[in-house]
Amino acid sequence: MCMSIEIDLHQIQKDVLVFLLFKRQENFSGLNRTGVPSDQFNFHLRRLIELGLVKRSKNKTYRLTPNGKEFSNRLDTESRTYEKQAKIGVLICCVQEFGGETNYLIQQRLKEPYFGFYGFLTGKVRLGETVFETALRELKEETGYAGKVKLVGIKHKMDYSKDGNLLEDKFFFVMKATDIKGNMTKKFEGGRNIWATEKEIFKLPNLFDGVKDTLDLVKQNKVTFLEKQYKISKF
């Protein structure tokens, strides 16, 4: 299991992890390059071992565990701070014909941030999960539907406040869902689902920025990359 990057580490512990990124193994004295008192330095090493980030070999040297390698690689080697990265998710546009008109499944978000906003279904990609598995799982969990999903685009969406502060940075694998089957879950914890024509969608209040861009991706017959910044009035 990979460890969350939210764990709080002492500066000495971070220094050890970054040092071991560039050395396959090192002994106690080699790790303690700044001359920290032995009992104090030993405390920090034991802590890293307890967390499963470092292991002690039979020859009394220390090296990073697989979790330690993944964890340490997220540290900036200069500042020893965790590098923030954009979130990865799927964005699912369900398409179905009703009475000769094309309808799209729209979700009203009933949780923060963006409480009350309307847009397409989204969900985070779990560790070790393919984007297609994510799309099918999120589709079932949040709508009750099953269907066929097809990748139609990759969307890099950066939301900024009016004063220029970055609020959210997300990469979405945009999926078109067809052959929809099952009974729709109209409301669930965190949202509610409705079917709407394109004309009806653009009459909805508090519509997410980028809905038109997503619809354009869905209507194309090729996979397209879209990267765009949006100024957000409400969050």
pLDDT digits (tens, 9 = 90+) for 151-185: 999 999 999 998 999 999 999 999 999 999 999 99
pLDDT of residue 6: 57
* pLDDT bucket at 189, cuts 50 / 70 / 90: confident
pLDDT of residue 80: 83
Same structural domain, 124 and 225: yes
Same structural domain, 63 and 160: no
The verdict on residue 114 lying in a domain is yes
Concatenated DSSP letters of 10-30: -HHHHHHHHHHHS-S-EEHHH
Say whether pLDDT at 117 is over 90.
Answer: yes
Same structural domain, 101 and 66: no
Same structural domain, 63 and 166: no
Measured CA to CA in angstroms, residue 184 lies from 39, 94, 162 at distances of 61, 12, 37
Segments forming the whole domain that contains residue 99: 87-232
Same structural domain, 44 and 99: no
CA distance 107 to 179: 19
Same structural domain, 91 and 55: no
The verdict on residue 82 lying in a domain is no
Same structural domain, 160 and 63: no
Tell me how many domains the chain contains: 2
Nearest residue to 104 (alpha-carbon basis) of 168, 195, 15, 231: 195
List, in order, residues 6 or more apart from 71 with CB less than 8 Å away: 2, 3, 5, 7, 17, 53
The verdict on residue 2 lying in a domain is no
Rounded mean pLDDT of 215-219?
95
* Residue in this structure with the two tokens 């560039």, named with its chain if needed: 22
The verdict on residue 6 lying in a domain is no
pLDDT of residue 84: 80
Which of 46, 72, 98 terminates a domain? The answer is 72
The verdict on residue 160 lying in a domain is yes
Could you give phi then psi for residue 211, rounded to 5 degrees? -60, -45
The verdict on residue 61 lying in a domain is yes
